[in-house]
Amino acid sequence: MKTLVAFLLSFAGAVSAQTLPSWNEGDAKARIVAFVQAVTDKKSRDFVAPAERIAVFDNDGTLWAEQPIYFQFAFALDRVKALAPKHPEWKEKEPFASLIRGDVKGALKGGEKSLLPILAATHAGITTDEYEKVVKDWLASAAHPKFKQPYTALAYRPMIELLDYLRANGFKTFIVSGGGVEFIRAFAEQVYGIPPEQVIGSAGKQKLEMRNGKPVIVKLPAVDFVDDKEGKPLGIQKYIGRRPIAAFGNSDGDLQMLQYTMAGDGRRFALLVRHDDAEREFAYDRQSHIGRLDKAWDEAKAKGWTVVSMKSDWKKIFSFEGTKQ
Amino acid sequence: MKTLVAFLLSFAGAVSAQTLPSWNEGDAKARIVAFVQAVTDKKSRDFVAPAERIAVFDNDGTLWAEQPIYFQFAFALDRVKALAPKHPEWKEKEPFASLIRGDVKGALKGGEKSLLPILAATHAGITTDEYEKVVKDWLASAAHPKFKQPYTALAYRPMIELLDYLRANGFKTFIVSGGGVEFIRAFAEQVYGIPPEQVIGSAGKQKLEMRNGKPVIVKLPAVDFVDDKEGKPLGIQKYIGRRPIAAFGNSDGDLQMLQYTMAGDGRRFALLVRHDDAEREFAYDRQSHIGRLDKAWDEAKAKGWTVVSMKSDWKKIFSFEGTKQ
């Protein structure tokens, strides 16, 4: 029996040395581990019951890359081209005409407004089952322009380890994203180990319809909920109904979610990912239009939240790359 | 080693004999057990991976009683009386004036429409944290008019066992109720073992507000989502994003949820609870206004869904009562 206990203890020690292997030893990793140990140690005054161990993660720029454009937009643009043969009228109609000619900048020159007809044309009018299949097919075939890898390979290795580490410590991990909830659900389980019911995102209106005598759900071209900025705490209350104890983001769109998380009682954790590695990923922050990190960064500094430098805190950013020593 | 295996097997046998102890041996129990065995047996052609084992339950009339009025309405009526001293204007204003005089029938003579100002006055204008506390305090102090028990004691013992049994077999159990999501969340974890993030219900609009420098969520007097009839499959898609493999209800409001569940591929399970025990609970069905079971009952018979008779299938309805032999 003594041998068995010794064996189990040696195993526990081995696991601990292997915690977050793609993270460099340093302040960010040390803070994560200290937080997890404090809330899971029954003898700690910071102990949190497993049911309350809710951790929320932004997706774009926090769990996977978001440059040069949000991957869901890349999907929408590709989808317009795929659907174009069935829509001859698009040749005369902006923003579709520019898109079909390959002129993305021209198509989007009207700003975010020009995205709305594109999103409506590519994200509505089909059932949720059909949409899931279309997204999965695209993810299996499309490649990122810089990395020449499938988009799902652009998930950050250290963040996948962090999700696993939190779950191994009794946390329930949720995505709380401004992106479309059904777009993310199409890959979140396979890529992040997060099941569809733990994905919160922006959503369109839907209706129940009978097709061939069977009920299906059809996506409508109208916005139901925008899960960004103030929408993130509102989405958390709507879907989870409990204030998280840990929140992870990378941009000003995550600020309210981090504030809401940190305003609860007891020990809390907030983390921002900084994109500062132009060589291995992209370097942006305050300069960026997509994923702009400005006010949230200032608040993180003022309040002592954890800020991760991708350049110095992460040994490896993507699973496909070699490990930086 | 042989002894250990024999011990474990004897234990498994003992567990099986104790399965659903408040259910009489009979068709309903046999069908539940056969379904669970089929979808959890890796060698079965009906095997379902744990992540897909989603079971959805209506609440009022399925997991707890719903007569003589939905318990949430009983809460709202009591709440009007509790708030009346702060609202002297209610003495001159219907439906509040009748309610304060104790004339519930008079207050509700305008039908469901007269409930709206009552719900707005009792379910809005406060934060979600305050509302949770008010509901918990009411549940701890109010008593059911017939049973003279706290409302939470009106949860059905056999259904609590069923929830436990499903979870022990790797199912994830969700409530999908026409009732207010935050009302149910206030007791679902303690009474049913269902955490807030697995409760789907009707919901009001909300807003994020800063109070004393901290973000809180305030309930607004406007409907955001009605989780009843067609709303139930829509709520399932919105919150879970995956078609359940088992659904449990008791009224026509659950019909679309049961149809949606049964329309998926592979083995599925649908169950309706019939209220036919006037002595131990209430006897209604087609005659009732609340919890009316009419079309769904016909469809259950036509399609061979499981129909539970509370009178003959359940040894015990409530935990507080003696067991019927």
pLDDT 10s per residue in chain A (325 long)?
455 555 554 444 444 558 999 999 999 999 999 999 999 999 999 999 999 999 999 999 999 999 999 999 999 999 999 999 999 999 999 999 998 998 888 888 887 788 889 988 999 999 999 999 999 999 999 999 999 999 999 999 999 999 999 999 999 999 999 999 999 999 999 999 999 999 999 999 999 999 998 999 999 999 999 999 999 999 999 999 999 999 999 999 999 999 999 999 999 999 999 999 999 999 998 888 888 999 999 999 999 999 999 999 999 999 998 654 4
User: B233: buried, middle or exposed (CB in 10 Å: 19+, 13-18, 0-12)?
Assistant: buried
- Residue B242 with chain A: CB contacts under 8 Å: 195-197
φ and ψ at residue A120, rounded to 5 degrees: -60, -40
**Please, which residues have CB within 8 angstroms of residue B72's CB and are 6 or more apart in sequence?**
B179, B180, B183
Q: What's the rounded Cα separation, in Å, for the pair B238 and A323?
A: 39
Helix, strand, or coil (residue B139): helix
Let me know the angle formed at the C-alpha of A94 by A92 and A95, rounded to the nearest 5 degrees.
135
**Please, which residues have CB within 8 angstroms of residue A40's CB and are 6 or more apart in sequence?**
A47, A48, A53, A169, A170
The count of C-alpha atoms lying within 13 angstroms of the C-alpha of A29, restricted to the half-sphere facing its C-beta, is 18
**Tokens linked to B125:** 């204008």
Q: Over chain B, what is the mean pLDDT?
A: 93
Q: Do A203 and B238 touch (CB under 8 A)?
A: yes
User: Beta partners for B56?
Assistant: B174, B247
Whether A174 contacts A195, CB under 8 Å: no
Touching check for B259 and chain A: CB below 8 Å?
yes
**Please, which residues have CB within 8 angstroms of residue A142's CB and are 6 or more apart in sequence?**
A74, A75, A78, A150, A151
**Please, which residues have CB within 8 angstroms of residue A322's CB and are 6 or more apart in sequence?**
A316
φ and ψ at residue A109, rounded to 5 degrees: -65, -20
Q: Do A199 and B241 touch (CB under 8 A)?
A: yes
Q: What's the rounded Cα separation, in Å, for the pair A98 and A94?
A: 7
Give A289→chain B minimum CA distance, Å.
Answer: 25
Whether A51 contacts B195, CB under 8 Å: yes
SS (HEC) of A215-233: EEEEEEEEEEECCCCCHHH
Nearest-CA neighbor of A283 among A111, A75, A71, A68?
A68
Quick one: pLDDT band at residue B18, thresholds 50, 70, 90? confident
Q: Do B208 and A230 touch (CB under 8 A)?
A: yes
**Please, which residues have CB within 8 angstroms of residue A47's CB and are 6 or more apart in sequence?**
A38, A39, A40, A41
| Amino acid letter for position B289 | H
Pick the residue of A190, A208, A240 with the most B CBs within 10 A to test the interface with B by mutation: A208
- Residue B217 with chain A: CB contacts under 8 Å: 233-234, 237
- Residue B256 with chain A: CB contacts under 8 Å: 208, 215
Q: What's the rounded Cα separation, in Å, for the pair A312 and A28?
A: 10
Give A24→chain B minimum CA distance, Å.
Answer: 33
Q: What's the rounded Cα separation, in Å, for the pair A65 and A61?
A: 5
Q: Do A260 and B215 touch (CB under 8 A)?
A: yes
> What is the pLDDT at residue A109?
86
Q: Is B115 left (phi over 0), alpha (psi -120 to 50) or beta?
A: alpha
- Residue A189 with chain B: CB contacts under 8 Å: 51
User: Which helix (H) or strand (E) element contains residue B220?
Assistant: strand B214-225
Helix, strand, or coil (residue A92): helix
> What is the pLDDT at residue A313?
98
Q: What's the rounded Cα separation, in Å, for the pair B192 and B156?
A: 10
User: B257: buried, middle or exposed (CB in 10 Å: 19+, 13-18, 0-12)?
Assistant: buried
Whether A224 contacts A123, CB under 8 Å: no
User: Beta partners for A172?
Assistant: A54
Q: Do B214 and A263 touch (CB under 8 A)?
A: yes
Give A276→chain B minimum CA distance, Å.
Answer: 30
Q: From the list B198, B239, B256, which residue is nearest A215 (CB)?
A: B256
Whether B199 contacts B172, CB under 8 Å: no
Q: What's the rounded Cα separation, in Å, for the pair B159 and B57?
A: 10
> What is the pLDDT at residue B244?
98
The count of C-alpha atoms lying within 13 angstroms of the C-alpha of B20, restricted to the half-sphere facing its C-beta, is 24
User: Beta partners for A271?
Assistant: A248, A306
| Amino acid letter for position B99 | L
Residue bearing tokens 């410590």: A169
The model's pTM is 0.93
Q: Do A237 and B128 touch (CB under 8 A)?
A: yes
Closest chain B residue by Cα to residue A197: B240
Q: Once rounded to an integer, what is the mean pLDDT over residues B303-317?
A: 97
pLDDT tens for each residue of B108-162:
888 778 888 998 899 999 999 999 999 999 999 999 999 999 999 999 999 999 9
Chain pair A-B, CB pairs under 8 angstroms: 82
Give B221→chain A minimum CA distance, Å.
Answer: 15
Task: For chain A, give the longest Cα–Cα distance.
Answer: 79
Q: What's the rounded Cα separation, in Å, for the pair B72 and B168?
A: 30
**Tokens linked to A147:** 């990395």
Give A215→chain B minimum CA distance, Å.
Answer: 6
Q: What's the rounded Cα separation, in Å, for the pair A278 and A285?
A: 12
CA distances, B305 to each of A70, A127, B36, B249, B308 (Å):
46, 26, 15, 11, 10
**Please, which residues have CB within 8 angstroms of residue A232's CB and are 6 or more apart in sequence?**
A56, A58, A176, A178, A253, A254, A256, A257, A260
> What is the pLDDT at residue A17?
57
- Residue A215 with chain B: CB contacts under 8 Å: 233, 256, 259-260, 263
**Please, which residues have CB within 8 angstroms of residue B23's CB and are 6 or more apart in sequence?**
B29, B32, B158, B161, B313, B314, B315
Taking residue A317's Cβ as centre, other Cβ atoms within 10 Å add up to 22
Residue bearing tokens 């507080």: B320
User: Which helix (H) or strand (E) element contains residue A172?
Assistant: strand A172-180
Let me know the angle formed at the C-alpha of A284 by A283 and A287, rounded to the nearest 5 degrees.
150
pLDDT tens for each residue of B210-253:
999 999 999 999 999 999 999 999 999 999 999 999 999 999 99
| Amino acid letter for position A54 | I
Touching check for A241 and chain B: CB below 8 Å?
yes
Q: From the list A207, A242, A259, which residue is nearest B215 (CB)?
A: A259
Q: Do A241 and B203 touch (CB under 8 A)?
A: no
Q: Do A241 and B217 touch (CB under 8 A)?
A: no
Q: What's the rounded Cα separation, in Å, for the pair A281 and A312?
A: 13
CA distances, A101 to each of A84, A96, A122, B256 (Å):
11, 9, 17, 45
